[in-house]
């Protein structure tokens, strides 16, 4: 761990930008400990635990980006506004690269049944499970759907997330999926944090499987891409969902239309989804609960980020994904909440990181990299997930001076403060409320 390079590079740039002392919009001071991965790009192997730590730091913000960062004693500029963070630790805003937070209807009855030992097949047969979410989402008006989804988004933001991926996938039909993506766009337009929209091909229609697949390839994917409603395509590869051959056809169509690729794979059965992800150079492959030595070796030879979802393991009582083995093999690992109404009702990106220590055997520094810069890499983003000159000024302020509070506590300690584009995000309003010093 070292602070070398950070203040130095920033200082040079700021001095170049303005002869003499630079003037910036906002200066964040009172940072007892600034902790960040070194810079953009997926980190693997030993790099997954490398953090730069700077004591008594300041961050200068201009045009929503970091224009200077270094020791308070080295700052020579002026700022229109100064914000004192009170001697606490600052880390990059968290990146949550896998959520299904756009839904209507809750599945509390499913939970009661599951706890009483009712098999999932019987829950499905009585109209519960994912089909009930699809029905309730279809029946909800846009306003109701957005109201519920905004509340969930603000919970993730309150836990430190400043970039959140949101998937469609509860629609089913071409029209319903496009409507879901439109709703995600609306969510993003009204949110102070960045939303990344993903088109998810989730559950096959048992009656008209071939027709539906053709519609997805020939209508849904081209339309979603052409209208800029999604930047990524996700396919659920599983015995009960799509085969490797079906997924490959869909993903190739997505690639043809300029979408980044990602997969749900190896959740219940390792049927070749990981191998497909690496072969197609997908940005990420998510779940991996049942991945074994072969899949880990395959991932180690590729560039695909392995995104782990510890909330699912906890909720379903399944063996967790082999996080320790993946990192030891040199696979870049990311973490996500997988917030959804069934298998992962986890309303905290930070808690996903805390759980990864217990369930996936990550170490604190590895979990921070997994929840920031590696998660950003899974989304193809290079301006978030780290703190340095030219990165977006997205950061979280922890309640104490040692950043490890973030992953030691489970569901706290709180509250945290979150800054997006250098502006403090007010949790309840979901609006920007800059704090004057």
- Residues in contact with Zn ion by the rule CB under 5 A: 338
Q: Least distance from C-beta 271 to Zn ion, angstroms? A: 17
Enumerate residues 6+ apart whose C-beta is below 8 A from 72: 29, 31, 56, 57, 58
Question: Could you write out the DSSP letters of every residue in 163-224?
Answer: EEEEE--S--SHHHHHHHHHHHHHHHHT-SSEEEEEEEE----SSSHHHHHHHIIIIIHHHH
Distance in Å, CB of 234 to Zn ion, minimum: 8
Q: CB of 163: closest distance to Zn ion in angstroms? A: 17
Question: Which CB atom, from 96 or from 338, has the smaller least distance to Zn ion?
Answer: 338
Strand locations in 259-411, DSSP E? 260-265, 284-287, 305-308, 333-335, 395-397
Name which of 183 and 346 has its Cβ closer to Zn ion: 346
Between 11 and 336, CB nearer to Zn ion: 336
Interaxial angle between packed helices 174-189 and 142-158, expressed in degrees from 0 to 180 and rounded to the nearest 10 = 50
Q: What is the DSSP pairing of strand 52-62 with strand 417-420?
A: unpaired
Q: How far is the CB of 100 from Zn ion (least distance, A)?
A: 6
Least Å from the CB of residue 312 to Zn ion: 8
Give the C-alpha separation, 79 to 118, whole Å.
Answer: 61
Instruction: Report the residue number whose CB is nearest to Zn ion.
Output: 338
- Using the minimum distance from each CB to Zn ion, give the nearer residue, 85 or 370: 370
**Minimum distance between the CB of residue 116 and Zn ion, rounded to whole angstroms?**
25
- Kindly state the DSSP code that residue 289 receives in the 8-state scheme: T
Closest distance to Zn ion from the beta carbon of 235 (Å): 11
Q: How far is the CB of 338 from Zn ion (least distance, A)?
A: 5
Alpha-helix residue ranges (DSSP H) falling in 36-193:
108-115, 120-125, 130-139, 142-158, 174-189
Question: Helices marked H in 195-309 — which ranges?
Answer: 209-215, 221-226, 244-256, 273-279, 293-300
Q: In terms of CB distance, is 72 or 318 closer to Zn ion?
A: 318
CA distances from 28 to 35, 83, 201, 236 (A): 14, 5, 42, 43
Residues 404 and 395: their CA atoms lie apart, in Å, by: 15
Cβ(153)–Cβ(187) under 8 Å? yes
Shortest spacing between CB 264 and Zn ion, in angstroms: 5
The alpha carbon of 312 is separated from its chain's Cα centroid by a whole number of angstroms, namely 15
DSSP per-residue codes, 74-86: G---EEEEEEEEE
- Give the list of residues 6+ apart from residue 113 with CB closer than 8 angstroms, or none: 122, 123, 128
DSSP label at residue 318: P
Q: Cβ closer to Zn ion: 298 or 307? A: 307
């Amino acid at each position: 761990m070292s602070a070398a390079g950070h203040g130095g590079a920033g200082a040079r740039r700021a001095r170049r930008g303005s002869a003499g002392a630079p003037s910036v919009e906002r200066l964040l001071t009172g940072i007892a400990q600034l902790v960040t991965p070194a810079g953009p790009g997926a980190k693997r192997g030993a790099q997954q635990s490398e953090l730069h730590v700077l004591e008594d730091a300041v961050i200068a913000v201009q045009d929503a980006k970091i224009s200077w960062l270094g020791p308070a004693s080295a700052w020579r500029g002026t700022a229109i506004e100064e914000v004192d963070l009170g001697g606490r630790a600052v880390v990059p805003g968290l990146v949550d690269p896998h959520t299904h937070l756009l839904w209507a209807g809750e599945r509390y009855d499913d939970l009661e049944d599951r706890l009483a030992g009712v098999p999932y097949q019987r829950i499905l047969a009585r109209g519960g499970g994912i089909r009930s979410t699809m029905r309730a989402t279809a029946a909800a008006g846009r306003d109701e759907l957005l109201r519920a989804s905004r509340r969930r988004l603000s919970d993730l933001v309150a836990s430190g997330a400043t970039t959140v991926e949101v998937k469609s996938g509860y629609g089913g039909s071409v029209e319903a999926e496009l409507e879901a993506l439109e709703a995600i766009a609306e969510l993003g337009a009204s949110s102070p944090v960045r939303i990344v929209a993903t088109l998810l091909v989730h559950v096959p229609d048992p009656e008209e499987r071939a027709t539906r697949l053709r519609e997805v390839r020939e209508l849904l994917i081209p339309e979603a891409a052409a209208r800029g409603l999604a930047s990524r395509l996700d396919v659920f590869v599983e015995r009960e969902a799509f085969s490797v051959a079906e997924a490959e056809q869909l993903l190739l169509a997505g690639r043809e239309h300029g979408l980044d690729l990602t997969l749900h794979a190896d959740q219940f059965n390792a049927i070749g989804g990981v191998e497909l992800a690496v072969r197609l150079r997908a940005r990420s492959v998510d779940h991996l609960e049942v991945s074994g030595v072969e899949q880990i070796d395959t991932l180690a030879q590729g560039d695909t980020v392995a995104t782990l979802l510890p909330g699912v393991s906890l909720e379903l009582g399944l063996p967790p994904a082999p996080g320790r083995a993946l990192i030891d093999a040199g696979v870049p690992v990311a973490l996500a909440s997988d917030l959804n109404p069934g298998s992962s009702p986890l309303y905290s990106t930070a808690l996903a990181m805390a759980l990864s220590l217990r369930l996936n055997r990550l170490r604190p520094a590895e979990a921070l990299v997994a929840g920031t810069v590696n998660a950003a890499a899974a989304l193809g983003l290079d301006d978030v997930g780290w703190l340095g000159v030219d990165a977006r000024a997205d950061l979280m302020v922890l309640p104490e001076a040692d950043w490890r509070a973030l992953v030691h506590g489970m569901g706290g300690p709180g509250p945290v403060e979150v800054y997006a584009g250098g502006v403090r995000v007010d949790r309840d309003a979901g609006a920007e409320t800059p704090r004057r010093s």
